[in-house]
Amino acid sequence: MYAFPDPQAARSRWKTLADQLNEQQPTEEIIQTFKDGRTRKRVLHSKQVSTSVRKTGRDLISLYIGHLHQTHRKLGDKGFEGGEPGFLTNRVELANLWGCSERTAYTHLVKLQEAGLVSKRKFRGTRADFEVYLSTEILFGRKDGESRVKKPVFQMPASSLPTLILQNLPLNNASINQGNNKTETIKGCGFGDNTATNQGNTQQGNKNQGNTERQQPPLKAETGTQYQGVTVTMGAGGAAAGSVDNSRPAKGQRTPAQRQAIFEGYLTSFWVYAKQLLYSGRSFTKIEENQALQEIAQGVYRNFKVDFTEKEWDEYQTELFKRLELAAGYYQRHADRYPPDPYSKFKPGSGYFCQENQRGFRNTDNWLAANRTAYRTAYVTQRLSLAIRHLQQHLHGRAPKRLQAKTYLEAFRYLEEQMKRYGQNIHEKFLTAASAVSQAPAKTEGFTKRIQTKK
């Protein structure tokens, strides 16, 4: 599993490096003479890394680590086999991000490379885009060529989770007697009740714990119990669950308590939606609820140590909801399989939401990426067919009005520019199909020839 750098530790190493570089700069003594003849000696100490460049370096570290997380969500560990990927950008984007001119952004980038934070820049394309690579010594605390650590750089124990996330979750216990069975209902944060139980379906000492493809008895709900549906607002990031105002002030205006409440909302809404889709026939005790929340906070949210903006957190929360729906659809199509326990029971790393479980919830990231790829392939194929059909219609005067007003060459170039957006492969297919359209023999409209054969 790829070990992500700790943003706080990386920024601390950058601060130490900047201080060391500034201390190494020589001092210069000057004598200042006033009009009345008085003189004063002054000692000037130049800085290699100015305050503005130091702040730019901190922002670049946060931006690069966020890029690593986004790349891992799209490509997984395979995207890091050749080292940390570069961050593709240009001076215009950096100027907008840092709130300065393009010249200043480029100057800061050069100074950061001289200071050692930026290890290299690799230019790409013809539009002045370039990839930025940061120093692994500052990101991870290791020099180039050293082996990567196997465990994550930051990995908090279960007892050290964010204080308010697990301690302030309003979980209420209510015991219900049903015949000879006693079940325990957990009510969490006003999202509804889950009163169904799953008695006798856990095999003690099962070595296949965590295997999503093992066969297990179907879940049976207790007699007389009802499940109340749960509605989760998609894209809201669970802010309502944390009793936080939905307004979005500018970045940096949130207090720590507000951010903590928002993180509680993310965690709680995800767990409630997971229970609705994957564990609708089960009831969890307070201890099991806390274990599941701890597993989700560590395996799904990385203990909220990722340096995301609120918008990026909302987008990530929406992706998680889609991945839950994909997982629910998988188990609906395979009635002989069911999701493992949300937390590790008999074997460490076997919980469904555990990051180490390769066949657990982590695998749904690949499913979501495959769905997006299939959707894009179908969309691009449809656009290619439509472009060829418009060329065919243009020859007979039946193309869309805006396209028919152009000459055939102008229409061809207009559609060609659209196809270039979808890559070289689609562009070549368009050229091949368009050449066949232009060379097709003309059709005579309104003439039909029937050939009758003798019976």
In order along its 455 residues, the chain shows pLDDT tens digits of 678 888 889 999 999 999 989 888 888 888 888 888 888 888 777 888 898 999 999 999 998 998 888 887 766 676 777 788 888 888 888 888 888 898 998 899 999 999 999 988 888 765 668 888 999 899 888 665 555 544 443 344 444 444 444 444 444 443 334 444 444 443 344 334 443 334 333 333 344 444 444 444 344 344 333 333 333 334 434 433 444 444 555 555 788 888 888 888 888 899 999 888 888 878 888 888 888 898 898 888 988 888 888 888 888 989 899 889 888 888 888 877 888 888 888 778 788 888 888 788 888 888 888 888 888 888 989 999 999 999 888 888 889 998 999 888 888 889 988 899 888 888 889 888 888 876 655 555 555 666 666 65
- Radius of gyration of the chain from its Cα atoms, rounded to whole angstroms: 30
pLDDT of residue 357: 82
For residues 315 and 372, is the Cβ–Cβ distance under 8 A? no
Q: Where are the alpha helices (DSSP H) in 141-194?
A: 163-167
Prediction pTM value: 0.39
Q: Give the distance from CA 119 to its chain's centroid.
A: 25
Q: How far apart are the C-alpha atoms of 340 and 213, rounded to whole Å? A: 9
- CA 420 vs CA 76, 125, 197, 408, 425: distances in Å: 28, 15, 56, 18, 9
In terms of Cβ atoms closer than 10 Å to its own Cβ (0-12, 13-18, 19+), residue 13 is buried
Residue type, 316: Y
In terms of Cβ atoms closer than 10 Å to its own Cβ (0-12, 13-18, 19+), residue 343 is buried
pLDDT of residue 143: 65
Q: Which of 389, 334, 331, 381 is nearest to 361 (CA)?
A: 331
Q: Which two tokens mark 415?
A: 């559609």
pLDDT of residue 191: 39
Q: Which two tokens mark 234?
A: 């998609």
pLDDT of residue 250: 53
Q: Which two tokens mark 79?
A: 């995207």
pLDDT of residue 45: 76
pLDDT of residue 104: 92
Classify residue 162 by its DSSP letter. Answer: -
Residue type, 128: A
Q: How far apart are the C-alpha atoms of 71 and 370, rounded to whole Å? A: 15
pLDDT of residue 134: 92
Q: How far apart are the C-alpha atoms of 56 and 20, rounded to whole Å? A: 17
Q: Tell me the torsion sign for CA atoms 219, 225, 228, 230.
A: negative
Matching residue, tokens 């300065």: 100
Q: How far apart are the C-alpha atoms of 86 and 71, rounded to whole Å? A: 10
Q: How far apart are the C-alpha atoms of 322 and 312, rounded to whole Å? A: 15
Q: Which two tokens mark 12?
A: 């601390």
For residues 267 and 353, is the Cβ–Cβ distance under 8 A? no
pLDDT of residue 60: 92
Q: Which of 99, 98, 79, 94 is nearest to 131 (CA)?
A: 94
